[in-house]
Amino acid sequence: MRSNRMLACILALTGLLLLNGCQSLVTGRSGPEAAAEIDRSVDAALQRLYATTPKARELAKRASGILVFPGVVRAGFIGGAKFGTGALRERGRTSGYYNVVAGSYGLQAGVQSYDYAMFFMTPKALDYLKESQGWEVGSGPTLVVVDSGVANAMTTTTLRSDVYTFISSQKGLMAGLGLQGSKITRFEP
């Protein structure tokens, strides 16, 4: 039993290392071409989010920055991994490119893709992302995952958290319970 756990951890770690080192393989390009492709994907992801969740468009007007990861891929069977490449938008323009990488362990199985958008509501929260050498989600600014119920209840007086996160355009199926940690790191395409 212990050797199975160790094997799953090793497989998950190996998968994470491979995914983290392969950002140019995700787009199939490098340099300015990769950046342009990421920007197009981010534009499309934001349009899909705004079409399904109008409150997100309202929130975007108040946000200091929006970090968008289009087409994040998550897969697992006992051990799992998640990877995505995206861009930070400030005042409508890209100010940096980021990866999100996660490993997990537990009862889980499946493959899923989705768009992931993080709305940084305060300059302090945005500075934390920019200054950290890899932000581990769950440490630092307070984060709220927004579902349709939370979105409908949002008003200017209820916006009190540092970061609001929307998950949209989900495809596939991922089921189970597991321990997971995500890390967001800046990179140059």
Give the pLDDT of residue 182: 79
Q: Are 97 and 85 contacting, i.e. CB atoms less than 8 angstroms apart?
A: yes
In DSSP notation, 76-145 reads EEEEEEEEEEEEEEETTEEEEEEEEEEEEEEEEEEEEEEEEEEEE-SHHHHHHHHHSSSEETTSSS-EEE
Domain range for 98? 2-187
Q: State residue 109's pLDDT score.
A: 74
Q: Within 10 Å of residue 144's Cβ, how many Cβ atoms?
A: 16
120 near 129, Cβ under 8 Å?
A: yes
What is the rounded distance in angstroms from the CA atom of residue 134 to the CA atom of residue 15?
18
Number of domains in the chain: 1
pLDDT in tens, the chain (189 residues): 555 554 454 444 444 444 444 443 444 556 788 999 999 999 999 999 999 988 899 899 999 999 999 998 888 777 778 889 999 999 999 999 999 988 877 767 788 888 989 999 999 989 988 988 776 655 455 455 565 444 444 444 445 578 888 888 777 765 554 556 678 899 998
Q: Which residues contact 4 (CB under 8 A, 6 or more apart)?
A: 78
- pLDDT value of position 91: 93
How far is Cα 121 from Cα 146, in angstroms, rounded to an integer? 14
**Confidence (pLDDT) at 160:** 57
pLDDT at site 127? 93
What whole-number distance in Å separates Cα of residue 49 and Cα of residue 147? 12
What pTM was estimated for this model as a whole?
0.74
Measuring CA to CA, how many Å separate 182 from each of 16, 52, 139?
11, 26, 10
Instruction: Name the 3-class secondary structure at 68.
Output: strand
- The token duo for 129 is 């992302």
For residue 82, the model assigns a pLDDT of: 82
